[in-house]
Structure 1
Amino acid sequence: MTDPAYWDTYAKSSKPRRQTNAAGETTWFNWTQYPDHGPGAGVLAISPGSVVLELGCGSGGNLAHLATLGARAVGIDVSPAQLTAVEDRWGGQPGLQLRHADAVPFLSETDTEFDAIYSVFGAAWFTDPDVLLPLVRKRLRPGGVYAFSHRPAIEGCYGCQASYIHREDADPFIVKRWDYEPDRWVEILAGHGFTTASAEVVAAPPGPKTFGTLLVRAQA
């Protein structure tokens, strides 16, 4: 399992999700790093009764929203601090289930079939796709959706890159992430048996923003 201390450190530096969004909703889905921006849960094409898995659920806001839509929403995370935050805020939400687990062992061991698997700035960014994608593909029902988002790749910096989790009074933790251009993600997904793969960079909202959000979607 990835060292939980890395992501517990990250959790401490993360701002909690607002109590309501601009529309006054207490739960909502957000693929991008900007509030009230970009597409929502429709990307996953789920309906009441769907079984959905989030790889790296963080503080659980997106997962809780899917539960309110009637999904069985399963979230895994390696950080106990993140899972505690989910329990504290969303623990009473029917349909929401949490597991302390890393993505690769969980997908290797579970026998559950999912209608959708997704990741928002989570495990899909920090796991070798040649390891992760065959496991995701195996656990999706026919036609099921796999989608993920994270920061776009820096031009010329593709493949496995170093990412830094800063901490006070100590050197940062260094973790691996995998960055590719949108067209390359489509090729990678097709190579692992996914269909109707698409990838785009969702532009940042107006203002002094410097980068958008990579959003990738495919079907089993």
Structure 2
Amino acid sequence: MEVVDAWERYAQGRTPRRDANASGAKTWLNWTQYADHGPDESILGELQDRTVLELGCGTGCNLAHLSTLGAECIGVDIAPSQREKAVARWGHLPGLTFHTAEVTDHLCRTDGPLDVVLSVFGPVWFADPEQLLPLIRKRLSPGGVLAFSHKPPSAGSEPVGTLREARAVTRWDYTPEEWSALLTSSGYSNSKAEIIPPPKGQEVGTLLVRAYT
């Protein structure tokens, strides 16, 4: 499948996450494209005993951190090699499972309520939101939260739906206002979309979105 091949090529070119962050922590969550920058998991609310699904979990580093905080964590990624890496590094942690699947297929073929769904530069950026957002909303429990991040659109960005990555991967570049409108039309409430300023010396911030059931 062309899309899977494209993400496998991307995964092979990624540098493994370092063993500790700047503060010496062995696990941590990072929403932005910059190391040790931006908010942490506190924006998700209480995590103890909550069921968390990460879409596009990659090698599982962000999700592994949430499992150490008492969450029951499920990771899904389309690239088979990512699951292998995730299990090799984090398979010893309790309450943490990884799956290889396309995210809309996974949401349709599984059941059970979810308390938190997150995506860090993942499928919420690369899947048709008019299909994906309602699927997530259907699975979220009352009071549940969807949170995701990606680069904000910039002047000269290619149109929404432009194919890239060997003409296999589509990216939806929406502004904070456009995401808020899409979330409202999909049944979410109290959405908040903001752009996190970049660290000193960088020019591109990070778009961070949260919405609730």
Structure 1: unaligned runs, 5 residues or longer: 166-171
Preserved CA contact (<8 Å) 2:2 2:168: no
Which residue is equivalent to 2:204?
A: 211
- Separation in 1, partners of 2:83, 2:98: 7
- The residue number in structure 2 matching 1:146 is 146
Residue of structure 2 equivalent to 1:101: 101
Indicate yes or no: 2:72 matched with 1:78. no
How far does residue 154 in structure 1 lie from its aligned partner after superposition? 2.1
> 1:163–1:214: structure 2 CA closer, same or farther, 3 Å change rule?
farther
Identical-residue share of aligned pairs (%): 47
Instruction: Give the alignment of 1:32-43 within 5 angstroms.
Output: 32-43=32-43
User: 1:83·1:98 contact (CA, 8 Å) conserved in 2?
Assistant: yes
Q: CA deviation at 1:3?
A: 3.0
TM-score by length of 1: 0.92
Q: Give TM-score, length-normalised by structure 2.
A: 0.95
> Which residue does the alignment assign to 1:117?
117
- Counterpart residue identity of residue 31, structure 1: W
Q: Could you say if the C-alpha distance between residues 2 and 54 of structure 1 is closer, same or farther in structure 2, counting changes exceeding 3 Å?
A: farther
1:38-70 deviations in Å (ceiling 9; x for gaps): 001112113211000000101111010011001
Q: What do the CA deviations read for 1:151-196 (whole angstroms, capped 9, x no partner)?
A: 111236476233533xxxxxx4541011111111111101111011
What SS class does the counterpart of residue 154 from structure 1 fall into? coil
Alignment-mate amino acid for residue 43 of structure 1:
I
1:1-220 alignment, distance < 5 Å: 3-155=3-155, 157=157, 160-162=160-162, 164-165=164-165, 172-207=166-201, 209-220=202-213
- C-alpha distance in structure 2 between counterparts of 1:137 and 1:150, whole Å: 20
Code of the aligned partner of 2:164: Y
Aligned residues: 213
**Paired letter, 1:190:** T
Cα deviation digits, residues 88-139 of structure 1 (max 9, x gap)? 1111111111111111111112111110001001111100000001100000
After TM superposition, give the deviation of residue 84 of structure 1 in Å.
1.0
